[in-house]
Amino acid sequence: TTAATLERFTVNFTITNLPYSSDLENPDSAKFRDTRRDMNTLLDGLLKESSIGPDFQGCETTGFRYGSSS
């Protein structure tokens, strides 16, 4: 038996009901930390229930940026 190889992948998406603020640019701000924690919790739950669930090791939010929803 060989050990599974872990691969990182990136997911980008738009959150349409989260108003952007400059605090989301600063990883040391409470807004960034709280939003990162919430996103990681929600994405972990979603991906653990998906087809990759048995191999999923967890997610890490690396940043937020302003985007247009149009």
pLDDT digits (tens, 9 = 90+) for 14-61: 888 888 999 999 999 999 999 999 999 999 999 999 998 888 888 899
CB 47 within 8 A of CB 13: no
pTM: 0.77
Residues 52, 4, 49: CA angle, nearest 5 degrees = 15
